[in-house]
Chain A
Amino acid sequence: DAKTTQPPSMDCAEGRAANLPCNHSTISGNEYVYWYRQIHSQGPQYIIHGLKNNETNEMASLIITEDRKSSTLILPHATLRDTAVYYCILFEGKLIFGQGTELSVKP
């Protein structure tokens, strides 16, 4: 079973920041938090991952709470092409995908 909990769907206005939450209250000390997204009929695309510290790359920022029990993926300026299902996943040996959050970016 997936060890993360995400809202099933979210909307975001184009050009605004999209903040996608994820709860992982049973995370262990060695587990990384990974984020992927999947556009319909394509393979999942890696976005970002982190262990304890906040991380930023050219696609997104990842904010992990101090107790590591939750995290937030931030897309700073969402575009229509960011419409996808976003998966928050804990990794220790293998990825376990849950249902993800379906993000709809609207004009």
Chain B
Amino acid sequence: DGGITQSPKYLFRKEGQNVTLSCEQNLNHDAMYWYRQDPGQGLRLIYYSQIVNDFQKGDIAEGYSVSREKKESFPLTVTSAQKNPTAFYLCASRGRRVGNQPQHFGDGTRLSIL
């Protein structure tokens, strides 16, 4: 089935370590997005990519990095510089760079600091 796969569903990290969250889509979508959600809050945009080998910072990019080497993959690295990384991370994709196509979301990765 077509969709967005995020792995793992739960992730634990020791303080000071970098960790990479996976996001893969087989929808042939050009644009991909990473959001962070804290308890009781809405989603906040971390990074987005409109096309392969290009990406832009969102509203809360500090302490995060991304790459977009393949159309179907948009991994997010949470670095040790991120002061409060415990959160629910959501990946999304969208069919066209412009226009009114909706974003579709994966089921998220919940990151916790040990």
Contact = CB atoms under 8 A, between A and B. Distances in A.
B90 to A, nearest CB: 5
Interface string A83-107: 0000100010011111110000000
A41 B108 contact: yes
A91 B100 contact: yes
Contact of A51 (B48, B100, B104): B100
Contact of A44 (B48, B58, B90): B90
A100 B107 CA distance: 19
B37 to A, nearest CB: 8
A34 B104 CA distance: 12
Interface stretch (B38-46, B63-71, B72-80): B38-46
A2 interface: yes
Contact of B43 (A49, A51, A97): A97
Interface string B20-60: 00000000000001010000011111001000000000100
Interface in A24-83: 32, 34, 41-46, 49, 51
B108 A46 contact: no
Nearest to B58: A94
Contacts of A96: 45
Given A44-B105, A94-B45, 15 more contacts: A42-B108, A43-B6, A43-B90, A43-B105, A46-B104, A46-B105, A49-B100, A49-B102, A87-B42, A94-B33, A94-B48, A96-B45, A98-B42, A99-B41, A100-B42
